[in-house]
Structure 1
Amino acid sequence: MTKHFYRYLLLLFIVLVGCKGSEIAPRQPLTLEQQQLLLGNPSGATADAGTPDNYLITRPQYALSYSRDRGTPNWVSWHVSQDWLGASDRQNDFRADAALPEGWYRVTASSYRGSGFDRGHNAPSADRTRTAEDNSATFLMTNMIPQAPSSNQGPWADLEDYTRRLVSEGMEVYVVMGSYGKGGTGSAGTAGTIDNGRVTVPARIWKVLVVLPAGEGDLERISTTTRVIAVDTPNSEAVQPDWGAYRTTVDAIEQATGYDLLSALPERTQQVLESRVDTGPTR
């Protein structure tokens, strides 16, 4: 054998050893808590009691940024797929959230009583029917906002139903919902706060949905052609019944709230998706 052949064998050995040493470790599955924040943390919330108006709470069922001074979540983020939908009954166990730091006022099940506003879920009860525990988690008061009954039981209920219909048709949906401003109109009239001033009534309610075919590696599968639905409605009894009438851009919601939505996506993908108004079906 020639020296060139031996040199070839040596180089081949080095390449093979190098490739073996650089093998990528298998991707670790996301925890349920990580799934709920897959698209990013819109406000950079942390689980630090020193940031009382941007306090992060993560659960297997959803994640949220809570405002102690408003007594409501700033935003709630969750994932809807067939895995989350089952036959569990609605628990209706509205209650204070013991996960809040010691010394903070905890909104209770009766805090909205007589206000003219519903205890409006952010992450819906019907999105978490896999187990009774999952459903019960949606009834913590940190997941609620004072919501006009016509809004809660009208266009928002329809949008929630539509989300689950998409899932029944083979899709999965990542959702972020929040509210902002002060002053809504419920069945008893207009109010800026309830519960002796300890809970702020938002003026506007928004939601962003990212819709994908069911599959794996969800973040990598989101592209500039992915359907994104952004909605921003008034918190009012005079709200229109069709949620599709309130479609807007993610950019507009970001401008109104100061949040950075879909921040886990590549910048170019964000730019395209966030500037587009959805025109797809609403039922």
Structure 2
Amino acid sequence: MQRMFSSKLFVSGASLVVGVGVGAALVGFNTNDESRGLKSHRGLLERVPVIPIPSVDAASNLIPYQPGQAGVSKSTAAMKYGFPSLANIKTRESYVTSYDPRNRTAAWVIEQLNPETLTGSSDRKNCEFKDDDSVHMYHRATNADYRGTGFDRGHLAAAANHKWSQKAMDDTFYLSNVSPQDPHMNRNAWNNLEQYCRSLTKHYLNVFVCTGPLYLPRQEPDGKLYVKYQVVGKNHVAVPTHFFKVLILEKQRGEVELRSYVMPNMPVDEKIPLERFLVPIESIERASGLLFVANIMKRTSALQAITMGHS
């Protein structure tokens, strides 16, 4: 059921393959299915609306980082809508992350995209994946953990999102911003989703992107649901079953839209429309233990109160 936050709604829809979805109600993939489980669920398609957030009047003077704005860093700007959780927060040049020491990867990463962050002379050829020495050695992933596993060191905050500064791009190569990703998925369908996020900066004032891993239950032959995932390397880096992206999209007049995607960590046909991976954000919140909507509602409510005070 769609949440009704306001009388001012921006409603659009997209198809959802339920097998790609989240939680106990969205049973996972049978990896022997045609197209790795995607086509086998064609009978379970449903329409899922993009969740609208209350509009904020343009009179509000609270705005995210703008080019040339003094005293506000890009990482600070990413905090505008709060954090999905509060454990082990780390701030980098232009993204903020919550590190999960048990799984040796981030629980989530938030970044703000706009034309400025996507423009610059930074080159990933000058970057190298590196241990995060701010993480205790017991809980730290290393490059050796990935060697020979068949998994890519998949960025959560994508390197191409931070061309404005070589330091910012370098920071995306910390292994605390990396998770084991199926190479076919990482270099094709997931890359398409990352490119799509960047393309949205042409249509929205700001694009906030929160990315993270999911470890979802799957029904086994005994009929029971189990959360089962691989670990790699001597440090037992967890291999997520799925990944999510939550997009907070700001328009020029302050209206905000919310879109959320989940993609399985397995080969995915890159020709499948990205709309097929849209899911209700509640399912991501339930499966991940994170909260997005509450923070956004608090922020937009505060902005509305300020706007009303100025009227």
Give the aligned residue type for 1:84.
T
Shift, 1:197, TM fit:
5.2
- 1:11-35, Cα deviation, whole Å (9 max, x unpaired): xxxxxxxxxxxxxxx9996443321
Provide the identity percentage. Answer: 28
Q: 1:157 corresponds to which residue?
A: 191
TM-score where L is the length of structure 1: 0.70
In the alignment, which of 227, 250, 263 is matched to residue 294 of structure 2? Answer: 263
Q: SS of 1:178's equivalent?
A: strand
Q: 2:273 corresponds to which residue?
A: 242
Provide the C-alpha distance between the structure 1 equivalents of 2:198 and 2:102, rounded to a whole number of angstroms.
33
Shift, 1:268, TM fit:
10
Shift, 1:191, TM fit:
6.2
List 4+ stretches of structure 1 deviating above 6 A: none
The structure whose Rg is larger is 1
Does residue 69 of the first structure (1) align with residue 115 of the second (2)? no
Higher relative contact order, chain-length normalized (CA < 8 Å, sep 6+): 2
- 1:118-149, Cα deviation, whole Å (9 max, x unpaired): 10100000000012111101000000000111
Q: Assess, with a 3 A threshold, how the Cα gap between structure 1 residues 192 and 211 changes in structure 2: closer, same or farther.
A: same
Matches within 5 A, 1:157-236: 157-169=191-203, 171-181=205-215, 192-196=230-234, 198-213=236-251, 221=254, 223=255, 226-236=256-266
Q: 1:58 corresponds to which residue?
A: 91
Q: Assess, with a 3 A threshold, how the Cα gap between structure 1 residues 198 and 179 changes in structure 2: closer, same or farther.
A: same
Q: SS of 1:152's equivalent?
A: helix
Q: SS of 2:294's equivalent?
A: coil
1:42–1:263 contact (8 Å) kept in structure 2: no
In the alignment, which of 120, 126, 129 is matched to residue 94 of structure 1? Answer: 129
Shift, 1:56, TM fit:
1.2
Give the aligned residue type for 2:283.
A
- 1:74-116, Cα deviation, whole Å (9 max, x unpaired): 1111101122122211133100012224x43421223211111
Task: Tell me the matched-pair count.
Answer: 223
Where does structure 1 lack aligned partners over 5 or more consecutive residues?
1-25, 46-54, 185-189, 216-220, 271-283
Q: SS of 1:83's equivalent?
A: coil
Q: SS of 1:130's equivalent?
A: coil
Where does structure 2 lack aligned partners over 5 or more consecutive residues?
1-61, 64-69, 219-227, 302-311
Q: SS of 1:127's equivalent?
A: helix
Give the aligned residue type for 2:248.
V
Q: Assess, with a 3 A threshold, how the Cα gap between structure 1 residues 255 and 182 changes in structure 2: closer, same or farther.
A: closer
Q: Assess, with a 3 A threshold, how the Cα gap between structure 1 residues 245 and 136 changes in structure 2: closer, same or farther.
A: same
Q: 2:159 corresponds to which residue?
A: 125
Provide the C-alpha distance between the structure 2 equivalents of 1:29 and 1:266, rounded to a whole number of angstroms.
26
Provide the C-alpha distance between the structure 1 equivalents of 2:299 and 2:229, rounded to a whole number of angstroms.
41
Give the aligned residue type for 2:237.
V
Q: Assess, with a 3 A threshold, how the Cα gap between structure 1 residues 129 and 246 changes in structure 2: closer, same or farther.
A: same
2:151–2:182 contact (8 Å) kept in structure 1: yes
Provide the C-alpha distance between the structure 2 equivalents of 1:163 and 1:62, rounded to a whole number of angstroms.
15
Provide the C-alpha distance between the structure 1 equivalents of 2:217 and 2:166, rounded to a whole number of angstroms.
34
Does residue 33 of the first structure (1) align with residue 69 of the second (2)? no
Q: Assess, with a 3 A threshold, how the Cα gap between structure 1 residues 267 and 135 changes in structure 2: closer, same or farther.
A: closer
Q: Which is further off, 169-178 or 126-135?
A: 169-178
Provide the C-alpha distance between the structure 1 equivalents of 2:257 and 2:134, rounded to a whole number of angstroms.
35
Give the aligned residue type for 2:191.
A
